[in-house]
Structure 1
Amino acid sequence: VCFSEKIVRLLSLSFLFSEPDDVRLVGGGSRCAGGVEWYDQGEWRTVGTSDWDQRDVAAVVCRQLGCGSTVSVPPGNTTRGFRVSCSGSESSLRECFRSYDFLPGLTVICSESVQLVDGAGLCSGRVEVKSNQSWASVCEADFDRQDAEVVCRELGCGAPAALQGGLYGGGEGQTWDKEFQCKGKESLLLDCDTSDRENNTCLPGNAVGLTCSEPDDVRLVGGGSRCAGGVEWYDQGEWRTVGADDGDQRDVAAVVCRQLGCGSTVSVLPGNTTRGKNIICSGSEPSLRDCYRMYDLLPGLTVICSGNNNRL
């Protein structure tokens, strides 16, 4: 069975929300932070999601509200709501899937002032800054490595891995009219000093693109090196085993090796007696956070990667 057919079976119930302004964040102190609610049949209802879907659903919520990229998904929301599952690329929750099992409510903090767009995942894309209620691309000449360190940190990603004009498209619309002068230690990009640009034009194709490394939320243990061992992912303060069925093992292994910067998969070893949540990947995802997680327990996955530790 192909990957797309499996996902269609697992997420078979699609739905439409009622109106464009039918999503909000409550209790977080601003319109870009709080518990996720959607308006349905005359009242606001909690949106729930599985741990593995949280980042993708959060990305869609932040995008729909015009609040930039996801900064964090805090735990501890005790309210439960209908389960929503997204791929992360949708423009609104109306394009996602809903099923009728109840899961813990989702709480989201969005960046509000900076986002990465048109990238392969949550930690890559063209840099855009919010200006006068609209988003503006940043010219490559006005953005350096220290600025990139602040953006990656603000969005909850790892260190900058690639920085280049036109890396994720040239951008459309307005261009940010200041030059950032970050020291690299600031918490937010808009906390950095800025100066007026000497040249008010940004040549086509020079909108800066940024790739941040993925957070270190996946590891291989017990294999003698960081590129071999049982797969574990960090969730809610502890490391948990990753399981996969026989048909998915190679695809999940490919994603793990890629995320860790460990080259390609050499082998997937049998005999791991620890069981973990079932993970389903197509094999092309940049990280396990972009895959699907189910609630059945399967034998833990043990992987040996080629050991190429070179990152972008």
Structure 2
Amino acid sequence: MHLFLNIFLTKIVILLGYFCSAHSTVSVRLVGGTMSRGRVDIMYNNTWGTICDDLFTNKSAGVLCHMLGFSRSGASFGGASVYGEASGPIWLDNLVCTGSETSITQCQFNGWGVHDCGHSEDVAITCSSVSVRLVGGTMSRGRVEIMYNNTWGTICDDSFTNKSAGVLCHMLGFSRSGAWFGASSVYREASGKIWLDDLVCTGSETSITQCQFNGWGVHDCGHSEDVAINCSSASVRLVGGTMSRGRVEILYNNTWGTICDDSFTNKSSGVLCHMLGFSRSGASFGGASVYGEASGTIWLDDLVCTGSETSITQCQFNGWGVHDCGHSEDVAINCSSAVSVRLVGGTMNNGRVEILHNNTWGTICDDAFTDQSAVVLCHMLGFNRKCSFATSTCTSDSLRNDNNTVYENVASNEQPRRADEEMYTELMF
């Protein structure tokens, strides 16, 4: 009787041991690369080992990335030779996952340690960058939150620079150029995790996981130091015409696309001209057919701007790629009547005024010029409206003007006069 009971209990223990080991959550690590890519090692029976690439797919890579705290989306796999060949056990072979599992122990495989592989067939994976979102502001600016280990958290501003902001903006589908950061207090203080501190990026990374930082959750910050970023400087270009007029294309998610003319007005044209370095004033729009029909993505539809925005990302629209248009409805704009202004020969806030008209720089004659005119020019240059002007004799030798053209009176239709006959205007702020 005792012998029978001992055998029965032994079988139960063996069965329970098999059940627990088959369904427990194994540990996973990446070796030889970075925190988001490398050769896959898994710990089973207190021993690290590898996975053979037989039958392995991106779906299995997605499950492993999920176990590591990354998104499943964009996960990929390849050979591990670039990360150095492993030694020791090969734990898994013919691993087949549907992609929805939370652990590889829920996938199908031959059995622990059952394989016909060598270490030259070890799997390496690349996990897509962590998820990023902006909170409390708009789609292009707000407090930064990143998802790691299935939990949203913030980034501390210690060591943070505009280069790091550029990397985050790139991850969000915006241009790196012009990205900047600031305090997040205006977007409401966060609670919960602070994931990153002392984040240092060169600016060329495709994900913050490629930047340097203390480690996930390692920080000495409070939420009053959370980072906010502004990605509102989207890239814009004019195609098929000149530098000041043509079909509008915008860069989003690293792809150039067009804007549909539904709900489009001259106010939206003015914002786009401003982004291109021209004045908002006098901007106009029309059909893009004269510049050649585009192909590819239509990014924006029903774009509505007040005219005061510094970027179209601050305007209202349906959403990126949400439209009911064809390329016959693409927008073209004309910024050529909207002159650009610069100061020459002084500093950033005083100097000789030059304006760009018809792709040519020229000056302004001082006849009938007043402080009120200076105020308008100061505003165009981005300064406050407190300024004045002074005059000085202008000669063809001292005036930097390739065509010796003076555009007299901004609002005048008179013909331009020769530079060596006139005075020039200098703004003083």
- TM (normalized to structure 2)? 0.38
Question: Relative contact order: is structure 1 or structure 2 higher (C-alpha 8 Å, sep ≥ 6)?
Answer: 1
- TM (normalized to structure 1)? 0.50
Greater strand proportion: 1
